[in-house]
Amino acid sequence: MCRLLSFGLAFSILVAFVHCETEFIRPAGWDDEIDNDVSYFIRHAAGSKMVIKWETDQDEITLYLTQKLSSGILEWYLMIEDTTQNQYGWPTVYDPASNATDNEDVICGFALYEPVDGDLLAQSRFFNISAPESDSTTTSSVSTIGSTSATAPISSSTTVTTSSMDTEIAPTESSTSQDTSSDSGPGLSGGATAGIGAGATLGGLLVLGGVGFLLWKRHRRRSKDSDMPAELPGQV
């Protein structure tokens, strides 16, 4: 009886320990047989929302997205860091590494890491993300950690933006209007400047003419006064 109780207690402790391990719930955890056969990969359309769920006994955890390149190397992208939550919503992005050709499906997965020591705690199964339709665009900002053939990401970090389509729209303004607007600046045009100069010259001539007329009139008055006799005839 004591042996049976001891066995039951040990089994309960083992179950509790296993239950507290970090593991993915959605998508399911890594499976060697399934994850080496692409026919088992679940396909997701670009732009569709995935809800990633996991269980862990860690106080905080860090979630990464991985993309498997055609060379077999994994590209790592930081999704959420030092989180206390156990789920994360992600609008799927097609080909974050810009590695796909001919709109082929890309292979992605998720990984959970211990934030302090950087230990890999769990990996999800791989899944496919299909190319978006030609008339749709999906954008997302992720932080890329780097590429490696091992299970751990490298340390260098940078921010990238991925887009399913790169479309450039030509400007609607013509080059003629742009040149005209660029040449026009503050100040008066040549015609306006010439008109102002002519007006100033004419005004100056009128002023000089007026002054000359007044001087001539004054001089004439003086000459008349000098020609008059000092006494009128008949006065003694």
Q: pLDDT (tens digit, 9 = 90+) per residue, 14-73? A: 444 444 589 999 999 999 888 888 889 999 999 999 999 999 999 999 999 999 998 989
pLDDT of residue 131: 92
The reported pLDDT for the residue numbered 227 is: 52
Could you tell me whether strands 106-113 and 139-148 are parallel, antiparallel, or unpaired per DSSP bridges? unpaired
Asked whether the beta carbons of 139 and 94 are under 8 A apart, the reply is no
Q: Tell me the CB-side half-sphere exposure of residue 93, using CA atoms within 13 A.
A: 21
Least confident of 33-42, 151-160, 172-181, 207-216: 151-160
For residue 33, the model assigns a pLDDT of 83
Q: What is the CATH number that goes with domain 22-163?
A: 2.60.40
Q: What per-residue confidence (pLDDT) applies to 43?
A: 95
Cα separation, 134 vs 129, in Å, equals 15
Which has the higher per-residue pLDDT, 169 or 22?
Answer: 22
pLDDT of residue 161: 33
Q: What is the mean pLDDT of residues 196-208?
A: 70
Model pLDDT, residue 119:
93
User: How far from the centroid of its chain's Cα atoms is residue 21's Cα?
Assistant: 38
Q: Give the pLDDT band (50/70/90) at residue 112.
A: very high
Q: Contact at 8 Å (CB) between 76 and 64?
A: yes
CB-side neighbour CA atoms (13 Å) of 213: 6
Q: What is the domain partition of the chain in residue ranges?
A: 22-163
Mean pLDDT of the chain: 72
- Residue 215 has what pLDDT? 77
